[in-house]
Amino acid sequence: MNWTDPVARFGQNLSDAIRYPFESWRGTAGFVLVTVGTYSLLILSTMPEFALQLLGDGLHWFDYVLVSLTESVYLTDGITGLAIIVSYAFLTGIAVVNAVAQLRLVGLSGATSVSGVLPGLVASGCASCGAGLLAFLGFAGGLTLLPFDGTLLQIGGLALLGFFLGRAGHPEQCVLSPEGAR
């Protein structure tokens, strides 16, 4: 067995996992809803007090808050910071649609097959909000100790989410090879 076979299989599984939400209109609609919701939540969590103050005055401020905070992320973290948030939203949308499909296909009794995606979702939730989560847990000063303001933690979370998507593959196909099955 060649060492590139597992790498090629992982790449194919990741490609299949990314393509799955776009195979049906329901999957695409779910992907768009989860991705937009995740992006909004991540952007709003960058300055939660600002967002809560304006949204407390009414939901008509939602578009202003979203645009202002997107601009703030771009101006403070550059295109890289904004790309990380967009990547998290994109991969989280894919992971949620795939996890729902796996649950629908195998039910709760096959929850072990969903374990390929769920750790990635946890990683995306932890690393994507960075300061907000650390402050919530009482470690606000911990972010100052991280190099590059926690960007490496966020990139690590993205890699972990991608790894688990590649491990799970297409929810409707078995990712075990015939020689791996007993």
180 falls within a domain: no
Tell me, yes or no, whether 175 lies in a domain.
no
pTM recorded for the entire structure = 0.74
- DSSP H helices, 45-150, are 48-57, 62-106, 111-114, 118-129, 131-136, 142-145
Q: How far apart are CA 77 and CA 143, in angstroms?
A: 15
- pLDDT per residue as tens digits for the range 151-176: 777 787 788 888 888 888 787 776 45
DSSP three-state, residue 117: coil
Tens of pLDDT along 7-27?
888 888 888 888 999 999 999
Whole-angstrom distance, CA of residue 95 vs CA of residue 99 = 6
Number of domains, the chain: 1
The reply to whether 179 falls in a domain is no
Question: What is the domain extent for residue 137?
Answer: 4-167
Going by pLDDT thresholds of 50, 70 and 90, the confidence category of residue 114 is low
With respect to residue 114, please indicate whether it lies within any of the assigned structural domains.
yes
Q: Is 68 domain-assigned?
A: yes
Asked whether residue 101 is domain-assigned, the answer is: yes
Residue 144 forms part of a structural domain: yes
Is residue 112 in some structural domain? yes
